[in-house]
Amino acid sequence: MDRPQICLSAKDFVGILNSAHHKKGKIVFRAKGSSMAPFIKDGDLLTISPVTFHKLLGKIVVCLDDSQKSVMVHRVIGKTKNGYLLKGDNLNFDDGPRSGKTIKGVVESIERKNKKIILGIGPERIAIAILSRVRILLPILKILRSCKKVLFFNQT
Amino acid sequence: MKHEINLNDIFIHSDDVVARQIEDEYIIIPMTDGIGNMEDCMFSLNDIGKKIWDLLDGKKDMNAIIEILISKYDVEKKEIIEDVTGFLKQLAKRNLVSIIQSKE
């Protein structure tokens, strides 16, 4: 009865999430991919809480695709009359408006190598969302990465 | 939960689990302090495990469950008793079940 290596479909994953949230619980799972780098990296452990649709701007949410074949964990960068606008921090384009019904949870915490990561989900999340929406987040992150490399190189 | 399984015991699923049928397996995720950790703590039951799990309704004692399984499977009673009590010990060890009633 040890933990199996199984592949959950998006629908199954959301079903588990819903069941946990119904019991007022949270789910922890390992992130995959780099669409939210550098704030969420591949392999990070994410704790997902039930979603409340109050002050969602900047929050990172779990969203079920309309086809119910995939789940994404992206940031809310705005709201339009057609729904919430989501976007991966490391992507050039947003996901298009999403209905609130497709949003299944909120990332409450991020853990990387046994350490809590707070950057990206604190109050700065609103600034990140705005920068992402106007498409200057990626250039800024690129500049910061370059500066970090230069500083590191100079120190060594 | 430390307990030697008695055939008069009655068990029920713990409230603090999330469970779901996924293809051929039944997945159980215990919730510890309100958190279900899919990374570290997820169990799967095969077909017979799921059948036993479904019978743990808080009403049937172990004897009744064993009799039901004997009627469904062509297996020696002794073997079923061993398998079921072993399985219940595993579930109890991981707090996936609670004992409702224990008769000595």
SS3 assignment for A76-109: EEEEECCEEEEECCCCCCCCCEECHHHEEEEEEE
- B55 Ramachandran zone, left/alpha/beta (phi>0; psi -120 to 50): alpha
Confidence (pLDDT) at A73: 96
Q: Decide if B15 touches A, using CB distance below 8 A.
A: yes
Please identify every stretch of chain B with a pLDDT value under 70, giving residue numbers as ranges: 1-3, 103-104
Interface of A with B (CB under 8 A): 1-4, 6, 8-9, 12, 15-16, 19-20, 23-30, 45, 47
| Whether B19 and A19 lie within 8 Å, measured CB to CB | yes
In terms of DSSP H, where are the helices of chain B?
A: 47-55, 62-72, 77-93
Confidence (pLDDT) at A5: 55
B 48-87 residues inside an 8 A Cβ radius of A: 49
Q: Which residues of chain A lie closer than 8 angstroms to B20, CB-CB?
A: 12, 15-16, 19
Nearest residue on chain B to A25, judged by CA atoms?
B34
Mean pLDDT for back-to-back runs of 10 residues, chain A (156 residues): 61 91 92 95 95 93 88 96 96 94 96 95 96 94 85 60
Statement: the pTM of the whole predicted model exceeds 0.80: yes
